[in-house]
Amino acid sequence: MTLDPQADLGRRAWLPCRYCGDNTALYLLDSDVNMIWVQCGRCLRRWWHDTGVGRGRRPEHLFDVA
């Protein structure tokens, strides 16, 4: 598995990887309402992460958008 071409160094969040466990750089690949499609920068696995953000709010605030 390789880093997704959509992965952007400017859009990362330090969140626990569901596979690695530790806080690590997750790349924001896509988002839909309160779900974000992320890729772990360490193990390169991808999954939909539920941000728990309420409806109508965009989850991008979690990320440092350059």
List of long-range contacts for 34-41, beta carbons under 8 Å, 24+ apart: 34/59, 35/59, 36/62, 38/13, 39/3, 39/4, 39/7, 41/3, 41/7, 41/12
Cβ 2 to Zn ion, closest distance in Å? 14
Does the footprint of Zn ion cover residue 62 (CB under 5 A)?
A: no
Does the footprint of Zn ion cover residue 40 (CB under 5 A)?
A: yes
Cβ 24 to Zn ion, closest distance in Å? 6
Does the footprint of Zn ion cover residue 42 (CB under 5 A)?
A: yes
Nearer to Zn ion, 15 or 53 (CB): 15
